[in-house]
Amino acid sequence: MALCERVAGGSSLLWPRVLLFGDSITQFSFQPGGWGALLADRLVRKCDVLNRGFSGYNTRWAKIILPRLIRKENSVETPVAVTVFFGANDSSLQGENPKQHVPLDEYRANLRDMVQYLTSAGIPQERVILITPPPLHEAAWEKECILKGCKLNRLNAVVGEYANACVQAARDCGTDVLDLWTLMQKDNQVLSFSQSFQDHRHKAGLLILSIRWPAFITSGKRVSVLKPLAAAGQETLLSAMAASLLEGRGGSKARAESARGRRPLVGPGNLPSW
C-alpha cells in the first residue's frame, strides 16, 4: 500500500543497493547460475545487487579504484552493504606471478584501508563483509597452469595465510568475515571433491548465499552473517547453485599494471581484464 501511495504521489522509487566488490570470482558471479545472480534473485524487490568485480585485480589496485566506485558525497547511491572479496590474486607466488602478487602485510593493510574508506563514505562497519579467498585444489590448478605454459603459481597453504590475514583484518576493523578457506575444507572436504572447478564454485556459492541477507540488511543491530545449512539441498535456490568461482582466476596475461603500483585505467570500458 505504501508503495502504491509513493507511486501515485510521484516519488522516486529507489531500492537499497548491495555492492559486490572483488576480483574475477565476483565478476563472473552474474553468469547463469552464479552466486551473484542468485543473490540478486533472492533480494529482488528488496535491494539492487551491483556487480563490481574486476578480473585479475588484487587489493593494491582495488584500493585505488574504490573511491571511483563509491563517492563520499553521494549519499543517495551509497550502498547499504558491501562485500569485499579479494585475495586469490594477491596470494600468487611472487617468483611465478610478480604482477599480481601482493605481500601478506600489505594485503592485510589494504583490506583495512578499504574498510576504513567505506565507513568514511557512510557505510557502517557492520554492513561490510570481508570474504577470504577460497581454498586452492593444487592438482587441478596445476593442470590449468600447464595448459597456459607456466608453472604452478599458487599453493593452498599460502592461500591459507592470506585467508587468515583477511580474518585478522576483519577483527581489526570490527567487520564480519566469511572464511571460505576454512569452511570449504572442513573434514578435508576439498580433497574429496572431483577435479573440476565446478564443485568448488558450487560449495563456495552455497556458503556465500547462506548469509542471512534480508536480516543483515534491514536489521538495525549486528546480525551474524552465517546461517548454518541443515543439509545440502535445504533450499531449491541453494541446491541449484553452480557459480563462477575460479573462472578466469588469474590465468591470463597481465595487461595493465606492474607490481610497482602504477594507477590502473579506471574507465568502465577500459578496465583491464585478465
Catalogue the active-site residues: 24, 199, 202
DSSP 3-state assignment of 205? Answer: helix
Measured CA to CA, the distance from residue 211 to residue 178 in angstroms comes to 9
Q: Which residues contact 30 (CB under 8 A, 6 or more apart)?
A: 36, 37, 40, 51, 244
Q: Compute CA distances 258 → 58, 95, 97, 204, 261, whole Å.
A: 12, 14, 11, 30, 6
Among 29, 126, 123, 22, which Cα is nearest to 79's? Answer: 123
Measured CA to CA, the distance from residue 88 to residue 160 in angstroms comes to 10
